[in-house]
Every structure is written in C-alpha cells, then in structure tokens.
Amino acid sequence: MQVFSSMRRNRADLLSLKNGALVGALVLYQIATSLYPLLSPLIGFFFCYALLLKEEEEKTMKEYFWERNAIFGYLIFTELSKGFYLFSTLIFFFLFYTLVVDWMKSAFKCRPCILVAFVASGYLGVLATNNLFAYILNEAFFMLGWEYLIYIIFDAFVAIIVFRDRL
C-alpha cells in the first residue's frame, strides 16, 4: 500500500495513468469498430483535431509534440487495421494543410461548417489518396459506401461538440 500512496501526490503519475487509459480505450474502440462496422473509426475526428492542433502550434509557437504524435499514431493504427495503405492519412494531411486549409477558413464563415468540412475532407481525402495508391499499384479501388456518410455525420457531430471553442 505504501508504494501506491505516492501516486496521489505526484501529478505526472496521474497524467500518465490518464493517457494510458485513453490509449487503452482507443485500442478497445478500434477493436469494436472491427467487430461492428457501423461504428465510426474516428478518422475524420482525429484528422480535424490534427488540423486544429497544427494551426494552434503556428499561432502560439508552442510545440505539441506528444499530442501530435499520438494523433498520427492513432491514424496510422486505424489505417493499418482498416486495410488502407500505410501513411496515406499523413500524406493527405500535409497536402491538405499546405494547400487547402487557409482557403477553406476564408471561404466558410460559420465555425461548425468548417469543422464539418474538415471531417468530411478527412474521410473523402483519405479515400481518394488510397484510391490513387491503388491506381498506381494497379489494385482494386476502395469503394465509397453509405457507411462513410454515417461516419462523417457522427464524427462531425463529435467534432462540433468537442472543438466548438478551439476554432
């Protein structure tokens, strides 16, 4: 019992326990999305979070190293478990951020519309990037099904709730 008594007083231990529990919950959720295909893999949500975090890094000149790497780690884990090509989300993220984000922020004036556009761009862009890789490698394309509409609606709803004050 004496060993665990220091955990209550040390904030770093509580933070690492919280982060470990979050990673465990995300892994369990990813397993659940494999069992139940109508559950969203949260690609659009984490894509939107990565965009907002990158923008916040540029505004405040702070480095969010662990958060950014955790997001990219989750996206890589998701694309591996869903059968996408490796690093397709990261390639699309960097292309999208350098080419489209500033235009999209100036084109849309309502903040929830920007979040919905980021989530939809995350799913559709990752699908387009994977289809580009499939075309280059002369393999079968990934099909856009009605499930993606459910994923986009769910992720957009969650992104609006979580990120409404961050934009």
Domain identity same for 61 and 115: yes
Domain identity same for 7 and 83: no
Domain identity same for 9 and 61: no
Burial of 24 (0-12, 13-18, 19+ CB in 10 A): exposed
* Residue 167 contacts residue 114 (beta carbons within 8 Å): yes
Domain identity same for 34 and 45: no
Query: How many residues in the chain?
Result: 167
Domain identity same for 20 and 65: no
Domain identity same for 103 and 82: yes
Domain identity same for 61 and 15: no
What are the tokens at 44? 């659009």
* Cα dist from 22 to 18, 114, 167, whole Å: 6, 27, 24
Domain identity same for 124 and 68: yes
* Cα dist from 27 to 74, 75, 97, 106, 153, whole Å: 9, 12, 27, 36, 22
What pLDDT does residue 9 have?
Answer: 59
Domain identity same for 53 and 114: yes
What pLDDT does residue 11 have?
Answer: 61
Q: Going by C-beta distance under 8 Å and a sequence separation of 6 or more, which residues neighbour residue 80?
A: 86
Domain identity same for 9 and 72: no
Domain count along the chain = 2
pLDDT per position in the chain (167 positions), as tens? 555 555 555 665 676 787 788 888 888 998 898 899 899 899 999 999 999 999 998 888 888 888 888 899 999 999 998 889 999 999 999 999 999 998 988 888 888 889 999 999 999 999 999 999 999 999 999 998 899 999 999 999 999 999 988 77
Structural domain of 135: 40-163
Domain identity same for 22 and 54: no
What pLDDT does residue 17 have?
Answer: 80
